[in-house]
Structure 1
Amino acid sequence: MGNPEHRFPSIHVAGTNGKGSTSHMLAAILQSAGYRVGLYTSPHLKCFTERMRINGVQMEQEAVVDFVAQHQALLEEIQPSFFEATVAMAFWYFAAKEVDIAIIEVGMGGRLDSTNVITPELCVITTIGMDHQQYLGDTLPAIAAEKAGIIKPGIPVVISHYQEEVADVFLGRAQSLGAPLVFARELVHLEATADAGMYRMGRSKAAYSFEHFTLALKGSYQLENVRGVLAAIPFLQASGWEISEAAVLQGLEQVQTLTGLKGRWQELGRDPLILADTAHNVDGIRHVMQQLKAYPYRKLWMVLGFVSDKALEPVFALLPEDAEYVFTAPAIPRAFKLEELEKALAPKRWKRHFIAGVPAALQFAKENAAPDDIIYVGGSTFVVAEIDEL
């Protein structure tokens, strides 16, 4: 295809949790600074073309058709995976549309990920947790080693969240390649305030003059993500990208409207309050449960579904016994089937219901919840994707 990935600057974002939010925040800030920004993320929620956006606008379906038409012989010869073909399509699209810069989110891992053919301006690695162990390894250092595979010779790398058990993995990889590495906490001192989405800046080596800012993305777990983003901006500025503090503030405050991000602690209704989040592994669900504790409610309803390649017992161990559960299954082949869920949950004493179809499961919860209850919908990105109100 002529290496379209060499025809635009890029930022590479890896991690177990937070890489999607981080990618959207970076894109929103660069858009606010006046740049034409490509954004590649996965998976999509509603439509395939969500994966490729330019300044928040999805790739045209006609462009997908054009890509396949132009490259059909090559695709049939090479027989790439779906993800490989999609990454190639994104790079072709961003090159053809002459973006100023593209934010590229890793699909899985990093070292062997299809996106790892770019030579970016900057790498950002977010939180490391247990996910995709069958592919990436069954310890945090092993998984971190795969994520660290995006680090390139001489290319700066920001680690959003300092985790003692994996810090040496990143330091070792960066030192061996002569890549400047910084842990975001060394540059940016940040704390969440009592108001959801409000943050207070402390004394930071990254010289921001503002003391407070608002992040459109709610959820306490965004603290580490936004710290990583704020640590990344000075590296971009040092490379010649003109990004004002006003652009930073606007990008963070308007990230959803600028980039079209959905499904991150998203409020879908009130009386009862309905919240949806794409958290789908142990670390993600742990943050969800911590966040829910901050809300007053009479009863918590949890509408949950999962995919079959996830270990569910560690997730079940985090869930409260006094919630009312509505289990469902997303309409994909990888879904954890309801009959299998019933077997897995047999020893539990939870109050639970099993309802086929995400819309029907959510409707059941809405019909039975009181106005002062909370309904949480999640367990899998694919569950959130099937919410009609999203």
Structure 2
Amino acid sequence: MVSPHVLTIRERFQINGELLEVASFETHLENFLSRLDSIGDMRVSYFEVTTALAFWIFEREQVECAVVEVGLGGLIDPTNTITRPDKIGLISAISLDHTEILGDTVEEIASEKAGIAQPANCVYVIEQSSSVLSTIESVAVARGAEVRIVPVQGEARLPGNYDRRNHLLAAAGAAHALEQLGRASDATPGPVLPAPVGRFDFAEVAPGSGLLVDGAHNQDELRALGARIASSQLEDFRIALAFTDTTDEKLAGMLDAISSMGAPMAVTAYRSRLGGMKRAADPLRVGAIAADRGIRLHIEPSAPLAFQWALEGPSPKGLVAGSLYLAAEAIVWADERTRRNA
């Protein structure tokens, strides 16, 4: 189970890397909602409902081992209702995100994330700062879990190679799960899988032309994206960006990170089409913060106009970043343009 989804809710409930067929998903959803109705009125969030739906689907599809992505933090996250002793925890690199809920330092956030540990669990943590590692170990061990550090080696140490670091972490967890299932011999190294939808994803508009879409949406992620762009062959590109509404300080940090790429930028707002979507930051406000920091950008009144502007630069490829919501809109826009050009 992953979240959020970008193009379809079925992205959350993949089995063996494949989306459920529409008819199968609709049957599961209908039966699940019928069961909820029989329980009566409940005050639950969208994420709580989709988490319960994932467990419902996985049980009925006879899934042997479920990969469940935590929504926010760990300690009080709905996914922490999994209390089995054979649960395996995976904690990736920690950055300053959702600080209004998880804490103002990486150590405070690490403490919240380590709360996913339950008695007799094994928690794998990707190698990172000693203060974060010691915090995670202290909290997890106090909760009765074992902690194992996954070393970062080779190309995974390069700036921006977060997908390779995540691959190392996932491989360690998968090997442990196969051992639990009595199938340790199946644990063979595999290739780095394609990035999820909206993560360094190329949305083609015409042959050789399109948008490189990445949902990086905090300062650390945007800096990592910049490092990855610098090591790629993308040059003379333009950036279309939008941010989720947040504090001036966080917007300033993200602008500093993305402006370090040295590319022309246009800020816009994504369309809030779903009730659970967070509101986009006002482009005029973002523009004012940028001006105060000496960062040049211009404002596009709509996301489609920003995407078009990004493709009109010297490079036939533009970059879209700052929000997964904007990433989803860019992918849909590019697909519509491709079909019109066919």
Counterpart in 2 of 1:385? 328
Whether 2:88 is the aligned partner of 1:127: answer no
Q: Matches of 2:236 and 2:200 in 1, distance apart?
A: 19
Residue identity opposite 1:238 in structure 2: E
Summarize deviations over 1:333-378 as a string: whole Å, max 9, x none: 5111223223322325444232233333112211x2124x652111
Match of 2:181 among 240, 247, 261: 240
> CA 1:57–1:295 in 2, change beyond 3 Å: closer, same or farther?
closer
Equivalent residue runs for 1:263-278 within 5 Å: 263-269=198-204, 271=208, 274-278=211-215
Alignment of 1:1-390 (within 5 A): 40-55=1-16, 56-58=18-20, 60-74=25-39, 76-118=40-82, 119=84, 120-185=86-151, 190-192=153-155, 220-242=161-183, 244=185, 248-249=189-190, 252-253=191-192, 255-256=193-194, 261-269=196-204, 271=208, 274-309=211-246, 311-320=250-259, 322-332=262-272, 334-366=279-311, 368-371=312-315, 374-387=317-330, 388=332, 389=334
Deviation at 1:143, TM superposition (A): 0.6
TM-score by structure 2 length?
0.83
What is the distance in 2 between the residues matched to 1:173 and 1:246? 29
Residues 64/309 of structure 1: CA separation in 2 closer, same or farther (3 Å cut): farther
Cα shift at 1:70: 2.5
Letter matched to residue 147 of structure 1: K
* Deviation larger for 333-342 or 284-293: 333-342
232-241 or 332-341, which deviates more: 232-241
Shift of 1:180: 2.0
Task: Call closer, same or farther: CA 1:52–1:297 in 2, change over 3 Å.
Answer: closer
Take 1:300 and 1:90, find their aligned partners in 2: how far apart are those partners?
40
More helix by share: 2
Deviations 1:30-75 (A, max 9, x none): xxxxxxxxxx11111012222122222236134223321221243x
- Normalising to structure 1: TM-score of the pair? 0.74
Sort the Cα spacing of 1:103 and 1:233 in 2 relative to 1 into closer, same or farther, 3 A.
Answer: closer
Letter in 2 for 1:148: A
| Conserved? CA contact 1:309–1:334, under 8 Å | no
Q: Is the 8 A contact 2:266 2:297 kept in 1?
A: yes
Q: How far does residue 243 in structure 1 lie from its aligned partner after superposition?
A: 5.0
Cα deviation digits, residues 152-187 of structure 1 (max 9, x gap): 1111110023221211111112322342211101xx
Using the alignment, how far apart are the partners of 1:233 and 1:96 within structure 2? Answer: 22
CA-CA distance at 1:241 after TM superposition: 4.1
Q: Give 3-state SS (helix, strand or coil) of 1:274's partner.
A: strand
**Which secondary structure does the structure 2 equivalent of 1:279 belong to?**
coil
Secondary structure (helix, strand or coil) at the match of 1:283 reads: helix
**Cα distance in 1 for residues equivalent to 2:47 and 2:30:** 16
- Aligned residues of 1:271 and 1:370 also touching (Cα < 8 A): no
Which structure has the higher relative contact order (CA within 8 Å, separation 6+)?
A: 1
Relative to structure 1, the CA distance from residue 88 to residue 364 in structure 2 (aligned partners, 3 Å threshold; closer, same or farther) is same
Write the letter of the residue equivalent to 1:329.
Answer: A
Find the residue that maps to 1:345 and give its secondary structure. Answer: helix
- In 2, distance between residues paired with 1:356 and 1:53? 36
Conserved? CA contact 2:202–2:211, under 8 Å: yes
> Over aligned residues, Cα RMSD in angstroms?
2.6
User: Contact conserved, 1:145 with 1:169, CA < 8 A, in 2?
Assistant: yes
Distance 2:67 2:253 in 1: 33
Q: 1:268 aligns to what SS in structure 2?
A: strand
User: Secondary structure at the residue paired with 1:312?
Assistant: helix
- Whole-Å Cα distance in 1 between the matches of residues 234 and 174 of structure 2? 39
- The secondary structure found in structure 2 opposite 1:330 is coil
Partners of 1:107 and 1:113 within 8 A in 2: yes
The separation in 1 between residues aligned to 2:3 and 2:301, in whole angstroms, is 26
Query: Tell me, which stretches of 5 or more residues in structure 1 are unaligned?
Result: 1-39, 194-198, 200-218
Equivalent-residue separation in structure 1 for 2:35 and 2:145 (angstroms)? 38
Q: 1:344 and 1:61, CA in 2 relative to 1: closer, same or farther beyond 3 A?
A: farther
Q: What CA distance in whole angstroms lies between the structure 1 residues aligned with 2:178 and 2:64?
A: 15
| Identical-pair percentage | 26
For 1:245 and 1:263, the matched residues in 2 are separated by 30
Q: Deviations over 1:205-238 (max 9, x none)?
A: xxxxxxxxxxxxxx62223212212332442243
Secondary structure of 2:298 counterpart: strand
Deviates more, 1:145-154 or 1:301-310: 301-310
Counterpart amino acid of residue 142 in structure 2: S
Asked if the contact 2:102–2:109 (Cα under 8 Å) also holds between the matched residues in 1, the reply is yes
1:83 Cα deviation after fit:
1.3
Question: 1:82 & 1:240 partners in 2: Cα distance?
Answer: 32
